[in-house]
Structure 1
Amino acid sequence: MAIIRIDHKPESLGVITPLQLIIPEPGDMRGVPVRDRKVLFLLHGLSEDAGAWQRYTMIEVFAQERGLIVVMPSGARSFYIDRRDGQKYFTYLTEELPTYLSAVFGIEAKRERTLIAGSSMGGYGAFKAALTCPERYAAACSLSGVLSAGILQGLSADPRRAEFELLFGGLERLAGGEHDPLVWLRNAAEKRNAGETTLPELTVCCGKQDELYPLSLAFREACARLDVPLTYHESDGAHDWRYWNREIEWFLKTALDGSHD
């Protein structure tokens, strides 16, 4: 198992940025070369970093069991969007990073073997990527994701409000705008209906004791209204790593092994 930490300077970010990779040993890849392996882009949440998934979960074990390459980029506190002040985290995630992985490591993130998932803010980023760039991903999973603009607009007394106002260019315009998950969903459904795209397999997981649980329920209802297939998985759990460790394994079993146990 190769565990690699890289500090590189993406053009889309303009700053030295950490990146972590898990690349299974050749024996665990069952003779399939790196360029043909399945790849999981795994995104961290608001207060974490590129190494969080390795520190707090068994993702190395899950990757080894499946010969899976795992790419864990740094998203800082960006919500993985292209910021108006110049740093383009979404461009980095969906365009520059796959190109870099191909050029440096020979990792080819072809749609049919590429997955994306994330927790909390990372769930937001994973679904933004999957719904606005569906040609890049076969499957996507939101783990306790921020799947509604409304929760950010309601942070009237939260000290983070000023930060998010700057990040999104004003919270009052968030609902119904380019950063609203329901807008991504509706636009993706319209393109699918017009025969312009094929949607990735979408999975939403959230613990019933999580404060973001209502957001996952609302997203499930929106998918039903738009006739967008969604695998929805809820169970007891909070907004924490115990839950995400359990659910990322469940997602991998579902997406790669075909198991729904």
Structure 2
Amino acid sequence: MKIISVLSFLFFCANSISGRAAAVDTVEVVAQKMMKPVKSVILQPTVREQDKSYPVLYLLHGAFGKYDDWVKKVPELQQWVDHYEIIVVCPDGGYNSWYFNSTRDDNFQYESYIMEDLLPWVEEHFPVKRNRKGRAISGLSMGGHGAFYLATGYPEIFGAVGAMSGGLDFRPFPDNWNIKDRIGNFNDHPAAWNERVAVNRVERLKPGQMAIAFDCGTGDFFYEVNLQLHKKLEQLEIPHQFTVRPGGHDWAYWSNSLEYHMVFFHRFFSGSTE
């Protein structure tokens, strides 16, 4: 068994859309390559039908964050889980892992953890859909990068991807957020950097293969790299939704943004968007 422990608790909110709030579980699943348990928060609709499977959204945190950021910072997420009947999984991505396997540190193998350990465990223990039409991935900042990195690496697994203020090309920031500690510095290892940035990896996708939505505030330091990705997708004729709104790199922006992402993914899961 890859699970170490499960800690379950319920949150209730009197002002939810549906009159309820989601059931919230904190779980620990062993990351086999890192040989350690890693926590995740999993939110489910409060009322679930027997023998029914639900779509699942993997929602990633940002740099310097952790697994419970989303549920603590955006309590409305619990209401949206109930309203849209989506299971949401918020994994821990370690201290600035960027959600790929480090070439320099065996303790940072978070791509393998999510894809080889967490995702199969979730599908074994929770009533989630087990096909790409029922799986999506998104995140903020570093988590937005992680979402695109994993979605483009596993298009047979994920049918939809999103990013909020995503670090979708981190090459303009070679000394920030421990990236060089994970894959070496840019001057000595340019191939490792170029292979991982979303602006290059989207070339792997075929037009219409994946539902894509990302956004960024005009006052965000990642605004230009988001605009760059938008232009690249236009050149590749890959359909996507790119939204620009006033705002910076902060929770006030992400709280607002997540509501739009939940609508987008609900529409995807319902077959209303490609």
- TM-score normalised by the shorter chain: which range applies? 0.7 to 0.9
Name the CA distance, whole Å, in 1 between partners of 2:225 and 2:212: 15
* Structure 2: tracts of 5 or more residues without a match: 1-21
Name the CA distance, whole Å, in 2 between partners of 1:45 and 1:102: 24
Q: What's the counterpart of residue 250 of structure 2?
A: 240
**RMSD of equivalent CA atoms:** 2.1
The one-letter code of the counterpart of 1:228 is I
User: Are positions 1:217 and 2:227 aligned together?
Assistant: yes
TM-score under structure 2 length normalisation: 0.82
Name the CA distance, whole Å, in 1 between partners of 2:257 and 2:61: 14
User: Are positions 1:64 and 2:79 aligned together?
Assistant: no
TM-score under structure 1 length normalisation: 0.86
User: Are positions 1:103 and 2:124 aligned together?
Assistant: yes
The one-letter code of the counterpart of 1:44 is H
Matches within 5 A, 1:110-121: 110-121=131-142
CA distance change for structure 1 residues 201 and 152 in 2, over 3 Å: closer, same or farther?
Answer: same
Name the CA distance, whole Å, in 2 between partners of 1:53 and 1:236: 21
* Structure 1: tracts of 5 or more residues without a match: none
Residue 171 of structure 1: which of 170, 186, 200 is its match?
186
Name the CA distance, whole Å, in 1 between partners of 2:142 and 2:130: 22
Contact 2:145 2:197 in 1 (8 A): no
CA distance change for structure 1 residues 32 and 247 in 2, over 3 Å: closer, same or farther?
Answer: farther
Q: Deviations over 1:177-217 (max 9, x none)?
A: 3212222112x14xx37xxxx62111111111111111110
Q: Which of the two has greater helix per residue? A: 1
What is the identity percentage for the equivalent residue pairs of Structure 1 and Structure 2?
A: 23
Name the CA distance, whole Å, in 2 between partners of 1:179 and 1:218: 15
Name the CA distance, whole Å, in 2 between partners of 1:32 and 1:134: 30
Q: What's the counterpart of residue 38 of structure 1?
A: 55
Measure how far apart 1:106 and its partner are. Answer: 4.4
Q: What's the counterpart of residue 25 of structure 1?
A: 46
Name the CA distance, whole Å, in 1 between partners of 2:214 and 2:126: 31
Measure how far apart 1:32 and its partner are. Answer: 6.7
Name the CA distance, whole Å, in 2 between partners of 1:22 and 1:125: 20
